[in-house]
Each structure stands twice: as C-alpha cells, then as structure tokens.
C-alpha cells in the first residue's frame, strides 16, 4: 500500500492507473476503521481494479467541538487493517492540505437535509458534501462506496453527485453489525462496558417496531419505538423517525411510499449513536 499525504502525488499515481486502463474504487473514511469500513473496501475490491481509501477527520462536519476532539484517531492500526484488505493507495492529508483556505461553498439539499441529522446537526451535511466533493476531485473515482448506517449521508451524497453531474457511481453497502445487532461504528469504542451492553437494545427495538407494520400506522410505529427507547434511562433520545427511503420524509399511509425505514439517533453517555433499518 502506498501512503500519500499530498493531493498532487496521489493524483499523479491515480492518473497513471487510469491511463493503464484501471478502474478506481474509493472509500472515504475518517479512520478508526472497523469491520464495517473493511466490508466497503472488500466490495470496492470486487467491483474495481484499484482501491483508494482516504482517512481524514473533517473538522467542518462536526457541529460539536467536543465530538471533534474526542473522535478516535488510530492511524497506525488503520494502516495495518488496510493491508489486510489489500488497499492500494491510502490518502491521509492534514487539514491544511484539504483546506488551504476556508471553503465557503453552500450546498442546498432542500427537505432532504432539513430532517433528522440535518435538523440535529446544523451544518453537518454541508461539511460532508464539501469534503466529499473535494475528495472526489482529487481521487476521480469510477465508484465510491458508502454504508447504509449513515443512510441520510448516503442520500445527500447521491443528491450532490446528481446536482453537480459528477462522473462517479455511488454504491450503497449494507450496515455491518456486531453479533448482538449493534451497528458497527468508530464511536462504539468510546462506550463504557455498561453502555456497550445496553447499546444493542437500539437495534432490537427498531427490529421489533418494523415487524409491527401490519398492526400500526407509520406514526404509531414511530411512537412505539420512541416509548420503548425512552424506557431505557441512559438513552437520551434525539429522534426516532419512520420515513420513506428516497426523500426521507414522514408519511401517513404505508401504501403511499415504495420503501420505508425507521431511523434513530440518541446519546448514550458521551457517545452519539445512530442506526436505521429497512421496514420494506
């Protein structure tokens, strides 16, 4: 694996691969890699010739300074994990390399960005869109791979790619879970032992709620999940939402949408967790 800290040398190496007829698969990350990330990379390896991974903790997508400060940074362990999936190029720039000057681009994603994470983390998706657009320009991938755990982020990136007519295919990949159902996340390593034991309740409650589709309306299902999550004292719930799987808006009747998911965000101790599952 070759490691690049500067975009010019990364771009030159990728350009040479492209001239040689190789396709480029890209997995952008913020590091603290886990099996969920590695699964995206394995998928990229299957679908493209050259795997490029970026590790960059993007300051402008953090609306909470403590979250940015506490975000795990484990570059050496990450490099060893990347070797196990046969990563070809790692791009690990510093903040000055990514932002030689402040980026003032403002994206408009309308109602897609005004719900759920968009409502609770002002500016977050603009920061994600800015950095992903910059990374796409630097890496010039044929395909980029994103996890469905961050389903709204995936929708935002698809929308940005369409808005700007970027020549990259966005490939969604299923959420990878621990054996007890907890969605894998870099943040999980910050949970205490007690918190870690309770965290799988999130997936259990969402899964149970989703089975009640024939007896509950979308609103009632949302309320059911909220009540169950509220019973766990240490869960500090931000939102539960039943929404369609394209625009991520709430709706009244099951037959008014083609697909739906149930989404949750909560604070467990100092750790913010999100998850979602498909209802149909």
Q: Which of 48/185 has CB closer to ligand PAF?
A: 185
Q: Which stretch binds ligand PAF (CB under 6 A): 1-9, 125-133, 167-175, 191-199?
A: 125-133
Q: Environment class of residue 173 by beta-carbon count within 10 Å: exposed (0-12), middle (13-18) or buried (19+)?
A: buried
Binding to ligand PAF by residue 29, rule CB under 6 A?
yes
Q: How far is the CB of 79 from ligand PAF (least distance, A)?
A: 17
* Among 85, 116, 128, 274, contact with ligand PAF (rule: CB under 6 A): 128
Q: Which of 131/271 has CB closer to ligand PAF?
A: 131
* Among 90, 98, 113, 131, contact with ligand PAF (rule: CB under 6 A): 131
* Of 203, 201, 208, residue with least CA distance to 231: 201
Residues 3-22 close enough to bind ligand PAF by CB under 6 A: none
Q: How far is CA 70 from the centre of its chain?
A: 18
Rg from Cα positions in the chain: 19
> Of residues 37, 203, 219, 253, which has the active-site annotation?
37
Q: Which of 91/235 has CB closer to ligand PAF?
A: 91
Residue with tokens 């300051």: 59
Binding to ligand PAF by residue 28, rule CB under 6 A?
yes
* Among 32, 52, 132, 264, contact with ligand PAF (rule: CB under 6 A): 132
Cα 123 from Cα 95, distance rounded (Å): 18
Binding to ligand PAF by residue 39, rule CB under 6 A?
no
Binding to ligand PAF by residue 30, rule CB under 6 A?
yes
Q: Which of 39/150 has CB closer to ligand PAF?
A: 150
Is 253 catalytic? The answer is no
Backbone angles phi, psi at 85, to 5 degrees: -105, 10
Binding to ligand PAF by residue 88, rule CB under 6 A?
no
Q: Which of 128/240 has CB closer to ligand PAF?
A: 128
Binding to ligand PAF by residue 60, rule CB under 6 A?
no
Binding to ligand PAF by residue 184, rule CB under 6 A?
no
Q: Which residues contribute to the site for ligand PAF (CB under 6 A)?
A: 28-30, 58, 61, 128, 131-132, 150, 153
Task: Please identify every residue annotated as catalytic.
Answer: 37
């Amino acid at each position: 694996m070759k490691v690049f800290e500067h975009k010019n040398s990364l771009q030159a190496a990728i350009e040479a691969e492209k001239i040689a007829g190789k396709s480029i698969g890209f997995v952008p990350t913020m590091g603290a890699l886990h099996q969920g990330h590695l699964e995206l990379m394995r998928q990229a390896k299957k679908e493209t010739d050259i795997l490029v991974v970026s590790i960059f903790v993007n300051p402008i997508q953090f609306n909470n300074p403590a979250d940015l400060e506490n975000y795990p940074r484990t570059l050496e362990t990450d490099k060893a994990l990347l070797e196990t999936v046969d990563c070809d190029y790692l791009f690990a720039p510093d903040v000055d390399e990514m932002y030689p000057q402040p980026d003032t681009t403002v994206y408009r994603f309308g109602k897609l960005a005004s719900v759920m994470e968009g409502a609770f983390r002002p500016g977050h998706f603009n920061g994600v869109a800015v950095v992903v657009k910059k990374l796409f320009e630097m890496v010039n991938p044929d395909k980029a791979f994103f996890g469905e755990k961050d389903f709204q982020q995936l929708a935002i990136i698809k929308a940005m790619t369409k808005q700007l007519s970027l020549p990259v295919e966005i490939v969604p990949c299923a959420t990878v879970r621990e054996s007890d159902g907890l969605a894998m996340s870099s943040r999980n390593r910050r949970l205490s032992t007690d918190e870690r034991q309770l965290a799988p309740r999130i997936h259990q409650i969402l899964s149970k709620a989703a089975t009640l589709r024939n007896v509950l309306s979308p609103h009632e299902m949302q309320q059911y999940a909220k009540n169950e999550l509220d019973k766990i004292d240490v869960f500090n719930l931000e939102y539960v939402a039943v929404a369609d799987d394209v625009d991520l808006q709430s709706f009244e009747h099951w037959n008014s949408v083609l697909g739906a998911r149930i989404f949750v965000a909560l604070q467990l101790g100092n750790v913010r967790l999100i998850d979602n599952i498909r209802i149909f």
